[in-house]
Amino acid sequence: MNDQSTCACSCGCITAEDPRFAELKSYIDSLDQNQGITMPVLQEAQRSFGYLPLEVQKFISENTGVPLAEIYGVATFYSQFAIEPKGRHHIGVCMGTACYVKGSQKVLDKLAEELKIKVGCTTADGRFTLEATRCLGCCGLAPCIMIDDDVFGKLDDISRIPDILGKYE
Ligand code: FES
């Protein structure tokens, strides 16, 4: 979750004065520079900032000596990293085979319509991020979605979706 409560300005953006940069610098300095440090530093930055905007990628590059292009390449290759802010609640719509044949595209379309966002995006209020995922491992409940750690199955009746979203304020 992106905790921006320590942001130095009131708009919620990440500024150079953000104390998390100093914390990240301390973390970088604590690492053995002879080991591959890109992954642990990106993981720490992701944990701290909630995502990896360009300012954070540049900071990491300047303080580790790893080229910005390489930082960007790793940040965009691994799904554990995000370069866009994430919502407080993550919705994963299963697009695995069992869910797909039972109508997961309709579920995804309904969610996108309700939230007024495209897949991969976050609502303007920062409440939800909507993503399509691989099999969630509960094919017997197809079509299903996961919101944070909660699974909702048998969603062929998409009229249930607004009520489900309403549980997450
Ligand atoms: S295909 Fe959707 S849970 Fe497995």
Nearest one of 96, 2, 87, 90 to 46, comparing CA atoms: 2
Answer whether residue 7 shows pLDDT above 70: no
Q: Determine the distance separating the centroid of ligand 1 and the alpha carbon of 167, expressed in angstroms.
A: 23
Average pLDDT value for the chain:
88
Q: Using the 3D structure, point to which of 27, 51, 77 is the last residue of a domain.
A: 77
Answer whether residue 34 shows pLDDT above 80: no
For residues 54 and 105, state if they share a domain: no
Q: Give the pLDDT score at 9.
A: 32
Answer whether residue 53 shows pLDDT above 80: yes
For residues 159 and 93, state if they share a domain: yes
Residue 36 lies in a domain: yes
How large is the average pLDDT for residues 115-136?
A: 91
For residues 161 and 110, state if they share a domain: yes
Residue 84 lies in a domain: no
- Stated as kind and residue range, the H or E segment containing 150 is strand 150-152
CA distances to 45, 63, 65, 81 from 22, rounded to whole Å, are 11, 11, 17, 21
Residue 154 lies in a domain: yes
Could you give the number of structural domains in the chain?
Answer: 2
Cα 4 from Cα 38, distance rounded (Å): 23
Full residue range of the structural domain in which residue 29 is found:
19-77
Q: Give the pLDDT score at 157.
A: 95
For residues 161 and 93, state if they share a domain: yes
How large is the average pLDDT for residues 116-124?
A: 88
For residues 141 and 114, state if they share a domain: yes
Answer whether residue 5 shows pLDDT above 50: no
For residues 94 and 43, state if they share a domain: no
Is 151 close to ligand 1, i.e. is its CB under 6 Å away?
no
**94 beta partners:** 133
Nearest one of 29, 59, 27, 56 to 44, comparing CA atoms: 27
18-45 burial, b at 16+ Cβ within 10 Å, e below that, comes to bebbeebeebbeeeeeeeebbeebbebb
Radius of gyration of the chain (CA): 19
Q: Give the pLDDT score at 45.
A: 95
Is 132 close to ligand 1, i.e. is its CB under 6 Å away?
no
- Stated as kind and residue range, the H or E segment containing 163 is helix 161-166
Is 135 close to ligand 1, i.e. is its CB under 6 Å away?
yes
How large is the average pLDDT for residues 94-115?
A: 97
List all residues 6 or more positions away from 9 whose beta carbon is below 8 Å from its beta carbon: 15
Is 142 close to ligand 1, i.e. is its CB under 6 Å away?
yes
Task: State the CB neighbour count (10 A cutoff) for residue 161.
Answer: 19
